Structure 1
Amino acid sequence: MGHATRCIPIIEALIKAGFEPVLASDGEALLLLQKEFPFLKSYTLPSYNIRYAKSGKNLKFKLFFRIPFVFLAIKKEQKVTAEIIEKEEIKGIISDNRFGVYSSKIPSVYITHQLQVLSGLTTKISTAFHQKIIKKFDECWVPDVANELNLSGKLGHLKDNNFNLKYIGILSRFIFIEKPLKYDLLVLLSGPEPQRTLLEEKLLKELKNYKGSVLFVRGVLNTSIKISAAKHIQIKDYLLSEELEAALNSSKLVIARSGYSTIMDVAVLGKKAFFIPTPGQQEQQYLAKKLSEDKITPFKQQDDFKMQDLKKTENYTGFKIYNSEIDLHSFKLFQSK
């Protein structure tokens, strides 16, 4: 979902520049983009079917056995991509972490903040695999800034590289708008199951005795399951961009996963946040630790989190407001071929 949300400002910039984007994704990511852009054509891509383990220590083991299915999905992606290119007369591709969505016939760009893929003892292997994918594309766009005041740290910055890299700045669909505070706390859930549900259940339990107003955004688009909560907690399954932007701007504090897209969204709004990284997800663990060491936001592991931990935010600066405007010169690659 994070990959889909951070593509929203790119899609909007393309439309303003006179392009006619064609969308392609799967699952809830595709559903989100269809809701945001109902007037654009869209196609379904093969799913990687990534599902996280209930225990963080088993995540790598579970993902390892998904590798053959991922390679199969990549081959299917390549076939579907070729069909879309021919049918829609596509002139260029922007692929956000879709490994097989590229073509040697037209300019192809890959978006990622993970030039290094952290996976513990297998980091060198996972990084080498990902960098091999990146080299299949004409350009690699990193949604971050190149200088030291960056958000992705060693994930998105290499000492040496032979890629055609372009740092396109912080990507977010939101802008800062000064609004009166409406919520003391905004809970913003996201990510694969079952970890999303496990965190939801834990936070609802912890929030029962919270003294303040809470907006609880579950981060589910396609569900018939309804949940109940205490009177001071307002539950929403999902909010589209305009509504979520207003909610974030009206909230004093945000609790969320330390996914990179979420971090960018909170950063452009200059919010204070508390992060709970997904168990076993080393990228989120690294980002949460980095932001904590930079004295921007605190974090706590999911199993250890208690509501009193939120008091730690008093000792952290929160984010400064980042600029998230898309530079249309980034699209020169498509205009020149």
Structure 2
Amino acid sequence: MVKRKRILIAPLNWGLGHATRCIPIIRSLLENNFEPIIASDGEALKLLQKEFPQLQTVELPSYKIKYAEKAKHFKLKMLWDSPKILKAISKEKKHTKALVKELEVDGIISDNRLGGYSKKVPSVFITHQLNVLTGNTTWFSSKVHQKIIKKFTECWVPDVEGEPNLSGRLGHLKGGELPIKYIGVLSRLVPQDLPIKYRLMVLISGPEPQRSMLADHLLSEIKEFKGKVLFVRGKIEERQEVVLRDHIEIYNYMSSAELEHSFNQSEMVLSRSGYTTVLDLAKLKKKAFFIPTPGQYEQEYLAERLQEESLVPYCKQEEFKIEMLENVKDYKGLGGIESTVDLSSLFELF
């Protein structure tokens, strides 16, 4: 019997997007007779353990990322935390090296974990940020990030190469020597033809304290919303909890299957403008309203770009009022990008 090749899957624990977009990759690895081993920390690890209870998991050093409470302090907080993050990356690199030897790993797929590579086996870096937007220091942060990407065998970008595309200048370079492969609209979700049950689906994500601040603000606002609301807090806990408040169903978290069902049953979505959410909405061809995480340049850029293209409206967190959702009908919604990539062809690298 031929031994199945072992692939270490290592998503960054920064919100849940990095973990959730690894789900279709893990599924495809299993279908193609590979043995995925999940490596992460915190809520990203918990989410994937719930999705794939049969798979082996290992814990990696945490970057311990927390956002500033005010947008203007975002970059300062990142700079303040950078020694801690660099230390975690260094530990992660050593940990990954040890895992490759100890678990006899044949390949690595890292979603934005900068130390998740090895010179001994093919290593893939998944990112939609070939350029890292940081305001007036974008040129520097982008060069540093691209230098790290060069350490990997390949860089997989979840988008299409040409126009129109979803990531804009985040995921497209004018030149350079990076080993890039565009892998299409990567999403764990599949469109279903279901009757509409919810007029609005609210999906909260991202690190604290901004996640709870947004949840509290939106729970207050949607009291006045006319129509049934599904509210998913995005908090991965031991048990799923459901609270009913008048016309609002509140879940602490949902599995991929439940989320897929609920997305398809919802008329429109209110969420952060995180890139994984953009991918999911594009796959499901949904209308949405975005509230970018305060101070996070990437989410602000995506929200501004999609509004300029008349696809999805957005506003700042502190400015949101429930009446703004009426604007959604004047926008096209996501779904103009058709892209199906055979993931199994990517695994030839291993």
Structure 1 length-normalised TM = 0.96
Q: Is the 8 A contact 1:172 1:324 kept in 2?
A: no
Match for 1:200: what amino acid? A
Rounded to whole Å, the distance in 1 between the matches of 2:215 and 2:302 is 21
Partner of 2:344: 328
Partner of 1:233: 248
1:13, 1:326 within 8 Å by CA — same for their partners in 2?
no
Residue correspondences, number: 334
- Judging by fraction of residues, say which structure has more strand: 2
1:123-162 correspondence runs (5 A): 123-162=138-177
Give the equivalent residue in structure 1 for 2:60.
45
Aligned equivalents of 1:108, 1:43: Cα separation in 2: 18
Residue 303 and residue 28 in structure 1: after superposition, are their counterparts in 2 closer, same or farther (change >3 A)? same
Residues 1:78 and 2:69 aligned together: no
Residue number among 180, 200, 223 corresponding to 1:208 in the alignment: 223
Does the alignment pair 1:251 with 2:262? no
Paired residues of 1:139 and 1:164 also in contact (CA < 8 A): yes
CA shift for structure 1 position 128: 1.2
Is the contact between residue 240 and residue 252 of structure 2 (CA under 8 Å) also seen in structure 1? Answer: no
Percentage identity across aligned positions?
Answer: 53
Q: Within 5 Å, give how 1:1-20 maps onto structure 2.
A: 1-20=16-35
Letter of the structure 1 residue corresponding to residue 345 of structure 2: H
Q: CA RMSD in A?
A: 1.5
Q: Secondary structure at the match of 2:22?
A: helix
- The 1:208/1:16 distance shift into structure 2, 3 A limit, reads same
Map Cα deviations across residues 37-76 of structure 1 (whole Å, 9 max, x no partner): 1111010000101100110110111110111111111111
CA contact (8 A) 1:142 1:165 kept: yes
The TM-score, its normalising length taken from structure 2, stands at 0.93
Q: Partner letter of residue 56 of structure 1?
A: A
Mapped contact 2:183–2:341 kept (Cα < 8 A): no
Q: CA distance change for structure 1 residues 124 and 45 in 2, over 3 Å: closer, same or farther?
A: same
Q: Does 1:315 align with 2:330?
A: yes
CA–CA separation in structure 2 for the residues paired with 1:238 and 1:70:
27
- Output the CA distance in 2 between the equivalents of 1:20 and 1:104: 20
* Matching of residue 276 in structure 1 with residue 291 in structure 2: yes
2:78 — aligned with what? Answer: 63
Specify whether residues 225 and 31 from structure 1 end up closer, same or farther in structure 2 by C-alpha distance, changes over 3 A only. closer
Please state whether the residue corresponding to 2:152 is helix, strand or coil. coil
Q: Is the alpha carbon distance of 1:195 and 1:188 closer, same or farther for their aligned partners in structure 2, counting shifts above 3 Å? A: same
Code of the aligned partner of 1:48: Y
Distance 2:294 2:242 in 1: 24
What does residue range 74-223 of structure 1 map to in structure 2 within 5 Å?
A: 74-222=89-237
Name the aligned partner's letter for residue 22 of structure 1: I
Partner SS for 1:252: strand
- Mapped to 2, the partners of 1:136 and 1:62 lie a distance apart of 27
Residues of 2 paired with 1:101 and 1:181: CA distance?
Answer: 42
Once the two structures are superposed, residues 71-125 of structure 1 have per-residue CA deviations (whole angstroms, 9 ceiling, x without a partner) of: 1111111111112111211000110000001001110110000000000011111
Instruction: Give how far 1:298 is off.
Output: 0.4
Segments of structure 1 that go 5 or more residues without pairing to the other structure are: none
Matched, 1:286 2:301: yes
Counterparts of 2:154 and 2:224, CA distance in 1: 50
